[in-house]
Amino acid sequence: KVIWTLLVTILGYASSLPVGDDSICTTEELAKYSIIFTGKWSQTAFPKQYPLYRPPAQWSSMLGVTHSSDYSMWKKNEYASNGVRDFAEKGEAWVLMKEIEEAGEKIQSVHGIFSASAIPSGTGQTSTELEVHPRHPLVSFVVRIVPSPDWFVGIDSLNLCEGGHWMEEVSVDLFPYDAGTDSGFTFSSPNFATIPQDTVTEITCSSPSHPANSFYYPKLKILPPIAQVTMVKLKKTQLGLSAPFINPPAKSNEVIDSV
Amino acid sequence: KVIWTLLVTILGYASSLPVGDDSICTTEELAKYSIIFTGKWSQTAFPKQYPLYRPPAQWSSMLGVTHSSDYSMWKKNEYASNGVRDFAEKGEAWVLMKEIEEAGEKIQSVHGIFSASAIPSGTGQTSTELEVHPRHPLVSFVVRIVPSPDWFVGIDSLNLCEGGHWMEEVSVDLFPYDAGTDSGFTFSSPNFATIPQDTVTEITCSSPSHPANSFYYPKLKILPPIAQVTMVKLKKTQLGLSAPFINPPAKSNEVIDSV
C-alpha cells in the first residue's frame, strides 16, 4: 500500500497545450465526481461459456486517470502499451502506473489517478471518486474481464467539460475490448502471446468471426452492454485541496484468477 | 403548423465526411433519446431584477438539431447566424429553420430537427425526443431566455457517441449566453441593436463587468446553473422508421413576450 502511494507522488497542474477550443473549463475550477462501475456480465445476458468456477466471472479493480489530450491510456485500433497489456492480461497495475507517472512528470498531461476495488462476480457495483482539472478534463480507465486472455472494458478520454462547464452526469454502456496481446479465444484460454502484437479491438457478437469466440452470438445485432459506468458531479468541490486528488488503488485481489 | 412540416422535409442520411476517429457509432444504428429540459431560473437563485410580470420569467420553445461536425448551430466566441439572432432576440424560428434546412440539403450535415414546447415560468420542465445517426451523432439546441435582449441557453455539438456506442445518459448544466446582437444589459432592456455585431459570449456573474447587468453577482464565483438538460437513450430503437425522425416545433407561444 505504501508503495502505491509513493508511486503516485506525481501529477503537475500546469499544462502548456490546450485540449481544444471549447473543452477547457475556463469558468470553473476543479471538479470532483463520483464514478460508479456496474458489472452486467450475467449468465442470462451472456450464456455462452459463462465462467462459473476457477475462477467465476468477475471484474478486476478499476485503474483510471484524469488527463489532458497529451496523454492516452489506451485507444481503439492502436497498440496497447506494456502497462495496458499487463493489466488486461493479468490485472497487474505496476507498469501502467509507471507509464501514467511518467506522463505526469514529463509532459504534465496527467492530473490524478483513481482506482476502485474489484467486483468478485460478473454483476455488482464498485465506485470511487475522481477529480478533473480545467486543463485535464479527460477521463480514462480500464477494468479487466476475469477470466479472459487479455480482455477488458474501459473508457478512453471522455471529456467531462462541455461548453466551459463540468458535466452534471454522464453514463456510458461498456463493451468488451481485446488488448491484442494474447491470442486466446475464450474466457479460459491458456496464455498464448500474440506475436506480433495486434491493436486494441472491440469484441462484438460477430468479431472475431469464429464460433469458438466466447462473445460470438451470430443471432444478435449487437451485444448487450457487459458493464456500465456513471459519473456524477459532486455538489461541493473541496477547493481546499492543495494536492491533486489521489486515490491509491486497492491491492489487486485477483488472486482467485491464478488458482 | 403545416408550414413547419413543409419546411422540415429535408435532411439526408449520407454524409461524406467522418466526424472523427472514435465518434462514429459504427457498431450501432440510429438511436433515439428522450431530451428533458429543466428551467432553474428561480427568484431564489437569481434574485436580481427577476422578471415578475410583463412578461414574467419564462423559456421559449426549444429548437434543436442532430447533425455532423460539418454543421454548427452556434458556437461560443463566434458570430451568431441570422437565424440564431432572430431566435435569441424574438423567439422566431423561421430563419434558423431555413439555415438548418439548407445545411441538410447542401452538405447533408443534418439528420433531424426537434423541438419542445415553451415553459411559461422560469422553473419547470419540457421534453421531446430526438434521433441521432452514426454519421450525425451531435446535438445542438437553443432556448431563448424570456424576457431578455438576446440571451439564450443551449448546447453546441454534444457528441452522443462514445467509443463507437451511443451514450446511455448525459446531463449538462446550462448557463446564459449573449447572442451578441442586441446591446441590452438587463432582462427588460429595450431593443437596441449591437452594431457591429459581437460574438456569442457566455454571461457570467462577473462578465459583462457592470453592476447594471442582470446576472452581475460580484460575490459569487460562478452563477448557479440557470437550466439543465438531460438526454436518456430510449431502450427500443424503432428501426422500422424509414424517414429521419422529425418533430415539428410547436407554434411559438411566446406572445406574452410582446404584451
Express each pLDDT in A205-254 by its tens digit. Answer: 999 999 999 999 999 988 999 999 999 999 864 444 433 444 444 444 44
Reduced to 3 states (helix: H, G, I; strand: E, B; else coil), residue B246 is coil
Please report whether residue B12 resides in a domain.
no
A158, A166, A168 member nearest B162 (Cβ) = A158
- Residue B92 CA to residue B117 CA, distance in Å, equals 13
- Residue A177 CA to residue A223 CA, distance in Å, equals 12
HSE (CB half, 13 Å, CA atoms) of B68? 23
Please report whether residue B63 resides in a domain.
yes
pLDDT value at position A141?
98
Question: Which neighbouring-strand residues pair with A178?
Answer: A151, A201
- With an 8 Å Cβ cutoff, the interface of chain B facing chain A consists of 22, 27-28, 75-76, 155-156, 158, 162-173, 175, 202, 204, 222, 225, 228, 230
Whether the link from the prior residue into A196 is cis, omega within 30° of 0, is: yes
Q: If pLDDT is split at 50, 70 and 90, which confidence band does B75 have? A: very high
- C-alpha cell at position A249: 488503488
pLDDT value at position B29?
85
Mean pLDDT score of chain B: 84
A27, A165, A169 member nearest B169 (Cβ) = A169
A156, A167, A175 member nearest B171 (Cβ) = A167
Question: Which CATH number is B203's domain given?
Answer: 2.60.40.2130
Please report whether residue B258 resides in a domain.
no
pLDDT value at position A163?
84
Question: Which neighbouring-strand residues pair with A123?
Answer: A40
Please report whether residue A248 resides in a domain.
no
CA distance A259 to chain B (A): 34
Q: If pLDDT is split at 50, 70 and 90, which confidence band does B152 have? A: very high
The CA R_g of chain B, rounded to the nearest whole Å, is 18
Q: Which residues of A139-172 are buried (b: 16+ CB within 10 A; e: fewer)?
A: bbbbbbbbbbbbbbbbbbbbbbbbbbbbbbbbbb
CA distance A170 to chain B (A): 4
Would you call A162 and B167 a contact, using CB atoms and an 8 Å cutoff?
Answer: no
Domain range for B96 is: 31-233
| Percent of chain B surpassing pLDDT 90 | 67
CB B153 within 8 A of CB B176: yes
- Residue A111 CA to residue A124 CA, distance in Å, equals 28
pLDDT value at position A27?
63
Reduced to 3 states (helix: H, G, I; strand: E, B; else coil), residue B127 is strand
Please report whether residue B200 resides in a domain.
yes
Out of A74-78, B88-92, B190-194, pick the least confident.
Answer: B190-194
Out of A87-96, A110-119, A138-147, A183-192, pick the least confident.
Answer: A183-192
Length of chain A: 259
How many domains does chain A divide into? 1
Express each pLDDT in A127-159 by its tens digit. Answer: 999 999 999 999 999 999 999 999 999 999 999
Would you call A168 and B204 a contact, using CB atoms and an 8 Å cutoff?
Answer: no
Provide the whole-model pTM: 0.80
Mean pLDDT of A62-86: 96
Q: Is the pLDDT of residue B230 over 50?
A: yes
Would you call A163 and B156 a contact, using CB atoms and an 8 Å cutoff?
Answer: yes
Q: Which residues of A181-191 are buried (b: 16+ CB within 10 A; e: fewer)?
A: bbbbbbbebee
B165, B202, B204 member nearest A175 (Cβ) = B165
Mean pLDDT of A170-179: 96
Mean pLDDT of B8-21: 36
